[in-house]
Amino acid sequence: MLTSLQLQNFRNYKKASFNFDKSVIIIGPNTSGKSNLIEAIFLLSSGKSFRAERDPEMVRFGSEMGRVRGRADDIDLEVVVTVGEVGGVRSQFKRYFVNGVAKRRQDFVGNLPAVLFSPQDLEIVVGSPGLRRDFLDSVLEQTDREYRIALISYTKTLRQRNALLELVKKGLRRDDRQFEYWNKLIITNGQILTAKREDFIDFLNKAKKEVLSFKLEYDKSVISEERLSQYREAETASGITLVGPHRDDFIVYFNKGHDLRSFGSRGQQRLGVLQLKLLELEYVRARVENEPILLLDDVFSELDEDHIIHILEKVGGQQTIITTTHEEFIPARIKSKMEIIELKANN
């Protein structure tokens, strides 16, 4: 359970401090900082923002450094975000601390498992492939340390390999021995990602679905020695790595095999996403040691009461943090068990 949260120069918060002793409802008008609060908690959980394209966006306008600190049971978690420069000195964008000790991201994540529901989730179904890969990553990174390590290594290697390919494209003679090293790394880590994504998608397909029935097809971009040599010329011409999990996607089929993205009504797409997120919750719960906390950012404008109660019942007694603009949106039987925190307009 998250018992305290402190923000410093984080988004619209100059300095703020919250204490939680159970589940909470955070009520505040638009722009009062509700989603920013959820973003801060999610950052402590996953080491990532769920919406910033670049980490420095989380730092308060005009500041160099933002800080989020929280206490979960007896663990002190802290993330420091900078704009890349502090007092004129170049600095890392993000640093992680557990009980005051600096950690790498792969060792920071996992201390405060959380599952987030937000209106942006719809993008998993209707958005671009990158958002579906982000979904797979965010679930698997929470639950699997080996996945976190493979992903970090894969991303780094991909960047290096692409930089080299770019040089080849510009006329540098291709030295295959140089590529051998990067190929080996990218294949090893890429295959770990593919296998684990496949397992997760398999879980999703086999799980019981009460909200909307669907079937996922993993459209994977396999990486192997053969595939890389098959694409050798094309890579040289384009200057980028053309195969691998960074090109993965999955298709959601519903209702006798139609693609939910193209043929689902808005309502069906919402239910599909809700179903997907409920299964994520089930998956995370089964795989982490501590029960995940549940973050519901502004979902009352999107979902009806029955579905919200369905989510809350799934999570059982675990801590839940809900934001909303209007207290009236929250069904009375949910509200009675929760603490209420009010945010004022423009913190």
Using CB under 6 A as the binding rule, whether residue 49 contacts ligand ATP is answered as no
Using CB under 6 A as the binding rule, whether residue 28 contacts ligand ATP is answered as yes
Question: For Mg ion, which is the closer residue by CB, 78 or 298?
Answer: 298
Using CB under 6 A as the binding rule, whether residue 148 contacts ligand ATP is answered as no
Query: What are the backbone angles phi and psi of residue 316, rounded to the nearest 5°?
Result: 65, -130
Using CB under 6 A as the binding rule, whether residue 53 contacts ligand ATP is answered as no
Residue identified by tokens 């496949």 is 198
Using CB under 5 A as the binding rule, whether residue 118 contacts Mg ion is answered as no
197 binding partner (options ligand ATP, Mg ion, none; Cβ < 5 to 8 Å by kind): none
Using CB under 5 A as the binding rule, whether residue 320 contacts Mg ion is answered as no
Task: Select from 29-37, 68-76, 254-262, 306-314 the region that touches ligand ATP (CB under 6 A).
Answer: 29-37
Question: For ligand ATP, which is the closer residue by CB, 3 or 63?
Answer: 63
User: How many residues would you count in the chain?
Assistant: 347
The C-alpha atoms of residue 176 and residue 145 are separated, in whole angstroms, by: 32
- Applying CB under 5 A, which of residues 6, 23, 32, 35 lies at the interface with Mg ion? 35
- Applying CB under 6 A, which of residues 191, 205, 268, 325 lies at the interface with ligand ATP? 325
Using CB under 6 A as the binding rule, whether residue 118 contacts ligand ATP is answered as no
Query: What are the backbone angles phi and psi of residue 252, rounded to the nearest 5°?
Result: -100, 115
Interstrand relation of 320-324 and 24-27 (parallel, antiparallel or unpaired): parallel
By CB neighbour count within 10 A (0-12 exposed, 13-18 middle, 19+ buried), where does 342 fall? exposed
* Closest separation in Å from C-beta 344 to Mg ion: 15
Question: For Mg ion, which is the closer residue by CB, 248 or 298?
Answer: 298
* Token digits of residue 294: 């549940």
Question: For Mg ion, which is the closer residue by CB, 291 or 302?
Answer: 302
The C-alpha atoms of residue 226 and residue 205 are separated, in whole angstroms, by: 29
Question: For ligand ATP, which is the closer residue by CB, 33 or 245?
Answer: 33
- Applying CB under 6 A, which of residues 2, 34, 246, 296 lies at the interface with ligand ATP? 34
Q: In this structure, are residues 248 and 221 in contact, taking their beta carbons and an 8 Å threshold?
A: yes
Identify residues 291-320 at the interface with ligand ATP (CB under 6 A). 298
Q: How many CA atoms lie within 13 A of 186 on its CB side?
A: 26
Tell me the C-alpha to C-alpha distance, in Å, between residue 23 and each of 41, 149, 203, 319, 339: 14, 32, 29, 5, 6
Question: Coil, strand, or helix at residue 131?
Answer: helix
Question: For ligand ATP, which is the closer residue by CB, 268 or 325?
Answer: 325
Phi-psi region of 239 (alpha: psi -120 to 50; beta: other; left: phi over 0): left
Q: Tell me, by CB under 5 A, how many residues bind Mg ion.
A: 3
* Closest separation in Å from C-beta 182 to ligand ATP: 36
320 binding partner (options ligand ATP, Mg ion, none; Cβ < 5 to 8 Å by kind): none
Using CB under 6 A as the binding rule, whether residue 220 contacts ligand ATP is answered as no
Which of 243, 248, 214, 244 has its CA nearest to residue 231?
243
Which positions ≥6 away from 260 have C-beta within 8 Å? 125, 214, 252, 253, 254, 268, 269, 272
160 binding partner (options ligand ATP, Mg ion, none; Cβ < 5 to 8 Å by kind): none
Identify residues 245-284 at the interface with ligand ATP (CB under 6 A). none
Using CB under 6 A as the binding rule, whether residue 60 contacts ligand ATP is answered as yes
- Which residues are at the interface with Mg ion (CB under 5 A)? 34-35, 298
- Which residues are at the interface with ligand ATP (CB under 6 A)? 11-12, 28, 30-36, 57, 59-61, 298, 325
